[in-house]
Structure 1
Amino acid sequence: MALHGDFSSFPLPELLQWLDSSRKTGTLQLLTWEGGERKLYLLSGQVLAMANEGLWGRVARVLSLAKLADGAAVLAALKALPPGGEDVESALRAHKVEPKQVRELVREELFGSMVDQTRAGHGAFHWTEDLDRSGEEWAPCELGLRELLFESLRWVDEQPDVDRVLPGDALTVRSKAQPSPRQPLMHRILLTLCAGGQNLGRLRLSLGMSRSSVTRRVFELLKAKQVEVEGAPEVVVDPVTDMLEKGAVLVREGQYDAAELVCSSLLASDPTDRRVREFARMAQSEHVAALYAQLPPLAVPMLVPDPEAQSLLKPEERQVTGLLNNTWDVSTLVLASPTRELETLKTLAKLVRMGLLRLTNPG
């Protein structure tokens, strides 16, 4: 199935929501704005990779400028990526390039691009179920559509604060802290490049990245008091924004239960905040995707009899256990269960951990 349209009639956030809820597989291409075009390669609602003219050169230049990798080696590694996207890790490591750094830079470009497109509100798209990457400058991303949607909308909502603090490119950014491996990659890169002071406009041009992305990260460093910007007003930390950022980090680290606690607290304080609602949806979607990675939808759960261990289960968990018949697969159990999809999957995962359940392949 192919789908064509423009963002005046089908806004980008709504398009991403549709692709996410439908768990689509294919290519979202020709997202056109002043900054060029992008192609997003999706598998079951997850962004596997992104393609864009000049992408390889930008990734290589940024890693080289920050002295994190040899630019020529990065270019060679990206050119050697197999068209089908198989065994990306080995292809990059063979050239001594860290896959995580490449993925983080591609995500960064993707976030900035989505923000720019959402704010502009114009452009066109083409959706196809073809996943062919041959002939494209593509690089791995591996990002959930729900996280992409949440982060880009959060950036859009908070961009007025960033623009107020960093209104122009003539401002000078100077590092106050040393880069550390514990910091996010873009923070490390900016701290390295601004060690002796750097004009914001030149910094953005040298990186070749979206202004939305660069100013956002400088704003975060300014808020953390790790850089100083001459003439910039003091950044007042919004507690909701701060908690959302911490919650997003928990989701990226796979600490979903902790992220749910953050989500519950935020929803209790202000259930009408769009950022909070989107975070709740994103956290749940990413948790469900992670559980399906452990529990393949077509796998058939087989109950291992253990009355003593089963007596420790909660009543709602026993309800799910009662549905097990050694015939239904995971997807059928989720549909038949009286509890929500997420709760059913969490129960099945718990049963596997307890040794009460083993998964068999119907083939």
Structure 2
Amino acid sequence: MALHGDFSSFPLPELLQWLDSSRKTGTLQLLTWEGGERALFLLSGQVLAVANEGLRGRVARMLALAKLADGAAVLAALKALPPSGEDVDSVFLAHHVEPRLVRDLVREEMLGSMVDQTRGGHGAFHWTEDLDRSGEEWAPCEMSLRELLFESLRWVDEQPDVDRVLPGDALTVRALVPPSPRQPLMHRILLTLCAGGQNLGRLRLSLGLSRSSTSRRIFELLRARQVEVEGAPEVVVDPVTDMLEKGAVLVRERQYDAAELVCATLLASDPTDRRVREFARMAQSEHVASLYAALPPLSVPVLSPDSEELSLLKSEERQVVGLVNGSWDVSTLVLASPARELETLKTLAKLVRMGLLQLR
């Protein structure tokens, strides 16, 4: 199935939400606007790769500027990637390039472009179920559409604060702390380049990133008091923004229960905040996807006979156990359960960990 449209009639956030909820596989091509063209290669709602003219050169240049990799080696590894996208990590390692560094920078570039497109609202798209990458200047990425949607909308909502603090490119940024492997990759790169002071405009041009992406990361460093910007006002930490960023890290680290606690707190404080609602959807979607990876939808749970531990279960968990008949697969049990999809999957996963269920 192919789908064509423009963002005036089908806004980008709605398009991403449709592709995510439908778990689509194919190519979102091309996101066209004043900033150029991009293609996103999707597998069941996950972004596997991104194609954009000059993308490989920008990734190699950023890693070389930050002294994190040899630029020529990065370019050679990217050019050696097979069109099928298989064995990507082995290709990078063979060229002495850390795969995670490339994926993080591609993710950063894609996120900045989505923010710019959402704010601009101009352009067109073409969706096809063809995943062919041959002839494209693509690079690997690892990000779900739900996370992309959440992060891009959060950036859009918080951009006025960034613009207020960093209104122009003439500002000088100076690092106050040295880069550390514990910091996010873009923070490490910016701290390296700003060690002796750097003009914000020149910094953006040397990196090849959009202004939204560069100013956003400088804003985060300024808020953390890791850089100083001449003439910039003091940044007041917004507690909701701080909790959302920590919650997003928890989701990326697959600490879903901790992320749910953050989500519950935020929803109780302000359920009308769009950033909070999107975070709740993203966290639940990522948790469900993780559980389905451990509990394949077509696998059939079989109850262990005569288990005394069944009496220790909660009443709602025993309801799920009562549906297990050795014939229904996981997807059928989820549909038949009176509990929500997430709660049913969590119960099934718990029963498997306890040894009360086996999957056939």
The two structures have a TM-score, normalised by structure 2, of: 0.98
Q: Deviations over 1:85-140 (max 9, x none)?
A: 11211111111111111111011011100000000001000000001111111111
Q: Shift in Å at residue 305 of structure 1?
A: 2.5
- Counterpart residue number, 1:6: 6
CA distance in 1, matches of 2:106, 2:221: 20
Whether the 8 Å contact between 2:150 and 2:278 is mirrored in structure 1 is yes
Shift of 1:306: 4.7
Task: Please state how far the C-alpha of 1:341 moved relative to its aligned partner.
Answer: 0.7
Other-structure match for 2:18: 18
Matched, 1:96 2:114: no
- Identical aligned pairs, as a percentage? 86
Change (3 A) 1:165 1:356: same
1:353 is matched with which residue?
Answer: 353
Q: SS of the counterpart of 1:32?
A: strand
CA RMSD for the aligned pairs?
A: 0.9
User: Are the aligned partners of 2:77 and 2:95 in contact in 1 as well (CA < 8 Å)?
Assistant: yes
Stretch moving more, 117-126 or 79-88? 79-88
Partner of 1:97: helix, strand, or coil?
Answer: coil
Query: What letter matches 2:37 in structure 1?
Result: E
Structure 1: runs of 5+ lacking an equivalent: none
More moved, 304-313 vs 22-31: 304-313
Aligned to 1:154: 154
Amino acid at match of 1:183: Q
SS of residue paired to 1:352 = helix
- Secondary structure, counterpart of 1:225 in structure 2: coil
Residue identity in the other structure for 1:61: R
Q: Indicate the SS of the match to 2:31.
A: coil
- 1:251 corresponds to which letter in structure 2? V
Can you list the C-alpha shifts for 1:270-322, whole angstroms capped at 9, x where unaligned? 11111110110010011111111111111222222252221221111111111
Alignment of 1:1-363 (within 5 A): 1-360=1-360
- Distance (whole Å) between structure 2 residues aligned to residue 127 and residue 315 of structure 1: 46
Cα distance between partner residues in 1 of 2:123 and 2:145: 19
Q: 2:298 and 2:92 mapped to 1: Cα distance? A: 32
CA distance in 2 between counterparts of 1:306 and 1:21 reads 40
Take 1:277 and 1:358, find their aligned partners in 2: how far apart are those partners? 36
Q: CA deviation at 1:55?
A: 0.9
- Kindly indicate whether the alpha-carbon contact (under 8 Å) linking 1:306 and 1:356 is maintained by their aligned counterparts in 2: no
How far apart in 1 are the matches of 2:359 and 2:129?
Answer: 30
CA distance in 2, matches of 1:184, 1:134: 31
Which TM-score applies when normalising by structure 1? Answer: 0.98
TM-aligned CA deviation for residue 211 of structure 1: 0.8
Q: Contact 1:263/1:276 (CA < 8 Å) preserved in 2?
A: yes
Q: Is the 8 A contact 1:8 1:122 kept in 2?
A: yes
Asked if the contact 2:175–2:228 (Cα under 8 Å) also holds between the matched residues in 1, the reply is: yes
Q: In structure 2, how many angstroms separate the alpha carbons of the residues matched to 1:94 and 1:243?
A: 39
Superposed structure 1 runs of 4+ greater than 6 Å apart? none
Cα distance in 2, alignment partners of residues 330 and 268 from structure 1: 32
Larger deviation, residues 233-242 vs 299-308:
299-308
Q: Secondary structure at the match of 1:82?
A: coil
SS of the residue 1:38 aligns to: strand
Other structure's SS at 2:285 match:
helix
Indicate the SS of the match to 1:73. Answer: helix
CA contact (8 A) 2:307 2:356 kept: no
Unaligned runs of 5+ in 2: none
Quote how far apart the aligned CAs of 1:210 are.
1.1
Q: Distance in 1 between matches of 2:77 and 2:196?
A: 31
